[in-house]
Structure 1
Amino acid sequence: MLRHFLRRALGRLRWQACARLWLPAWIAACFGAWPGVSHSLPPPSAPERVAWLWDGPGVPDWSRAHAAVVVQHVLLRGSEVLVRPRPQAPALGPQARVTPVVHVELSLAQPPQLGERQHRVIVEAVRRAAERSSSGWVQLDLEARPSQRAFYLAVLRQLRAVLPPEVRLSITALAWWCRSPDWLDDLPADEVVPMFFRMGADSAEMRRLLVEAPHRLHRQCRQGAAGFSMQEPVDVTTVSRYARTYWFDDRRWR
C-alpha cells in the first residue's frame, strides 16, 4: 500500500515537472496561431529607423527622435481635387526631428484628369509641408501608374525648382518599380523609398529577390532607404542592407 502511494506521488511530481516544460510551449504554439494575435516583432536594428505616422497620436518609442508624419492627404478623383489635413497631431516632443509627408491618392474607380490644377495642388502641398520640416527632409507618397508617369515626373521637377536648397526630397516607390530601371533612373529625388509590403501578386517573387538576388533590383532599391510593415515579417539581412528604414503599422502604433 505504501509502495503504491509513493509510486503515485512520484508520478504526479514527474508530470508536474514535465508540464512546466511543455505547457508554456503548447500555449504559445496554439495561441500564436490564433486569429487576431499579432506575430509582429520589433523591427531589426538599423542605422536609422523611422516610423510612418498616419492619422492618430500613436508613436513607437524607438521613433520619438525622428518620425515621418503625414501632414496632408490629397485625393485626385475625376476632375475633383480633395485635400484633407491631418486631423490629430502625433505625440512627439518639441525636440523630435519631423519629416512631413504628403500622401497623394489617384483614384482607381474614377481615374483623375491630370492637368495644371492637380499639378499645382500637389506641388504647393509639398512646398508648404517642407516649411514644417525639422529633419531637413520632406516626403511625397504618390503611387503613379505607368500612364501617369509623365505627370509625376513633371511634379517632381517642379518640386526641385521650388523647394529650398536645404530641404531634401524623399519619395516612396512601389516595389515593382524596382524592376523598371529606366523609370527609376529618371526620378529627380534625393531618396527613393521602395515599399516592400502590400505587394499583391508580386509579393512572393519580390521577397525571394530581396533575399536571394538583390543585385537584380535597381540600385535605388538596394541601398539608401526602404519601407517595411510591422505586420509582414522581413529577413534581418534584408533590413540591415539599408541606411534608413521606414516602418508602417496597420494599427497606427496603438
Structure 2
Amino acid sequence: MCARRPIPDLPTRVYWAWERPEDLSTLNTHTEAVAYLAATLYLTPSGLRTYTRRQGLRLPAKAVLIPVIRIEENFDAAMSTEQKHILRAAQLSLIVSAFVALARSERPLAIQIDYDAPQSARDFYARLLRELRRNLPESTALSMTALASWCVGDPWLRELTADDGPVQEVVPMLFRMGADGANIYRHIIVRQNDFTIAACRTSVGLILDERHSAEYLRYFESDRRVYFFSAQTWSPALLDYTRRRLSR
C-alpha cells in the first residue's frame, strides 16, 4: 500500500507528451491529465541554454496540465568532476528562475522536473530541489521523475521526500532502464517487493511497448498514479488502446 499521500486533485492517469505534435483531444478531463514537456534546459560550459516547446498539443478545454522541464548536461567528457560542480552551481539560479516563471504564468497544480542526475551531481540536485520548493508558489506541488534504481536500495531520496522535504511526488520510471532492468524486475515482479523508498510508492511511470510493461502495469495500477510514455505520437486511437490495456 502507499505510504505517502499523492498530490491531491491530480488525476490518477497521466500521459507524458514529449517534443513532437501530440493529439490528446479525446482526453477525459475528469480522470486523465497531460504532463507535457514545456522546456529543456541544457547545462553547458558557456551557460544555460533554454529550448521551449515548439510542437503543438491538441487538448480538450479544461485539460489538467502538468508542465515538465527536462534538464540535460552537455559537458566536455574531459572536464573534471570539480569543474562540473562549479558549472552546475553557477547555473542553479537560472534554472530556478525558469521553473518559477513557468509556474507563475500557468499556475499548475504541479510542475515536474526530469533530470537523470549522475551520482556526482546529487548534492547539486538536492540543493536545486530545495531552492525550487523555496521559490515556487505554495499552491504548486513539486514532482520529480526518478530512475527506478533510486527507489530500490538507494537512500539518497529519503531526506528530499520526507514529509517536510521539498518534493511532493516521485515518479519512478520503469522503462528504458538499461543494465538496471533485470535487478528491478527481479525485485518487483519475481520477489513481489515494492520500492524501498516510501515516496516512490504513490506514482509510477510506464511504457506500453516493452517486454515487461504488462506485468508492471498489473502490479501497480490499482493503488497509484500512473504516468504513461509512448514511443509513438499520441493520437485518439493510441489513447483508446492505452485505456483498453488499463481495463483488462
How far is 1:181 from its partner? 4.1
The one of 14, 19, 30 equivalent to 1:50 is: 14
The one of 17, 37, 48 equivalent to 1:81 is: 48
Confirm whether residue 159 of structure 1 aligns to residue 132 of structure 2.
Answer: yes
Gaps of 5+ in 1: 1-46
| Match of residue 210 from structure 1 | 188
Task: Check whether the contact 1:74–1:103 (CA below 8 A) recurs between aligned residues.
Answer: yes
Confirm whether residue 99 of structure 1 aligns to residue 66 of structure 2.
Answer: yes
Task: Check whether the contact 2:23–2:58 (CA below 8 A) recurs between aligned residues.
Answer: yes
The two structures have a TM-score, normalised by structure 1, of 0.73
The one of 164, 170, 173 equivalent to 2:143 is: 170
Matched ranges for 1:1-254 at <5 A: 48-60=12-24, 63=27, 65=29, 66-107=33-74, 110=77, 112=84, 113-133=86-106, 135-187=108-160, 188-211=166-189, 212-215=191-194, 217-221=196-200, 223-232=201-210, 233-235=213-215, 236-254=217-235
Rate the CA distance shift 1:215–1:52 in 2: closer, same or farther, 3 A.
Answer: closer
> In structure 2, how many angstroms separate the alpha carbons of the residues matched to 1:51 and 1:87?
18
> In structure 2, how many angstroms separate the alpha carbons of the residues matched to 1:143 and 1:252?
23
Task: Check whether the contact 1:55–1:87 (CA below 8 A) recurs between aligned residues.
Answer: yes
How far is 1:156 from its partner? 0.6
Residues 41-79 of structure 1: per-residue CA shift (max 9 Å, x gap)? xxxxxx721011111231346645210011101111334
Rate the CA distance shift 1:92–1:241 in 2: closer, same or farther, 3 A.
Answer: same
> In structure 2, how many angstroms separate the alpha carbons of the residues matched to 1:74 and 1:54?
14
> In structure 2, how many angstroms separate the alpha carbons of the residues matched to 1:51 and 1:57?
14
Rate the CA distance shift 1:250–1:165 in 2: closer, same or farther, 3 A.
Answer: same
> In structure 1, how many angstroms separate the alpha carbons of the residues matched to 2:195 and 2:13?
25
Q: Which shows bigger deviation, 146-155 or 48-57?
A: 48-57
Aligned length: 207
The two structures have a TM-score, normalised by structure 2, of 0.75
Look up the SS of the partner of 1:149 in the other structure: helix
Task: Check whether the contact 1:54–1:69 (CA below 8 A) recurs between aligned residues.
Answer: yes
Structure with max Cα Rg: 1
Rate the CA distance shift 1:145–1:62 in 2: closer, same or farther, 3 A.
Answer: farther
Alignment RMSD: 2.2
Rate the CA distance shift 1:237–1:251 in 2: closer, same or farther, 3 A.
Answer: closer
How far is 1:180 from its partner? 4.1
Gaps of 5+ in 2: 1-10, 161-165, 236-248
**1:234 partner amino acid:** A
Rate the CA distance shift 1:180–1:119 in 2: closer, same or farther, 3 A.
Answer: farther
